[in-house]
């Protein structure tokens, strides 16, 4: 995915954080946690190594958004 997709993911994470008050884990098409250096310092996006209650967000090519509430990071 390109930088535009990573920016979209960060924007979606911010929206979800504002709506639900929980941090967000970005996952790939296979629902595996992922990380991009562009998100460094963004307090609403959870690094895959962190453990806390979060919303899990898949940002897929074509901007299909999939949100799963309260999925713990494993």
- As given in the structure block, the two tokens for residue 58 are 């898949």
State the Cα–Cα distance between residues 32 and 25, nearest whole angstrom. Answer: 10
Contact 23, 44 (CB under 8 A): yes
pLDDT value of residue 41 = 94
What confidence tens digit (pLDDT) does each residue in 28-45 have?
Answer: 877 788 899 999 999 999
Its pTM surpasses 0.75: no
CB atoms closer than 10 angstroms to residue 43: 8
Q: How confident is the model at residue 67 (pLDDT cuts 50, 70, 90)?
A: low
What confidence tens digit (pLDDT) does each residue in 47-66 have?
Answer: 887 655 566 666 655 554 55
């Amino acid at each position: 995915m390109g930088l535009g997709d990573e920016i979209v993911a960060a924007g979606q994470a911010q929206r979800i954080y504002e709506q639900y008050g929980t941090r967000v884990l970005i996952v790939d098409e296979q629902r595996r946690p992922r990380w991009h250096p562009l998100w460094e310092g963004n307090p609403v996006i959870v690094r895959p190594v962190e453990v806390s209650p979060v919303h899990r967000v898949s940002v897929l090519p074509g901007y299909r958004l999939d949100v799963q509430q309260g999925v713990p990071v494993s």
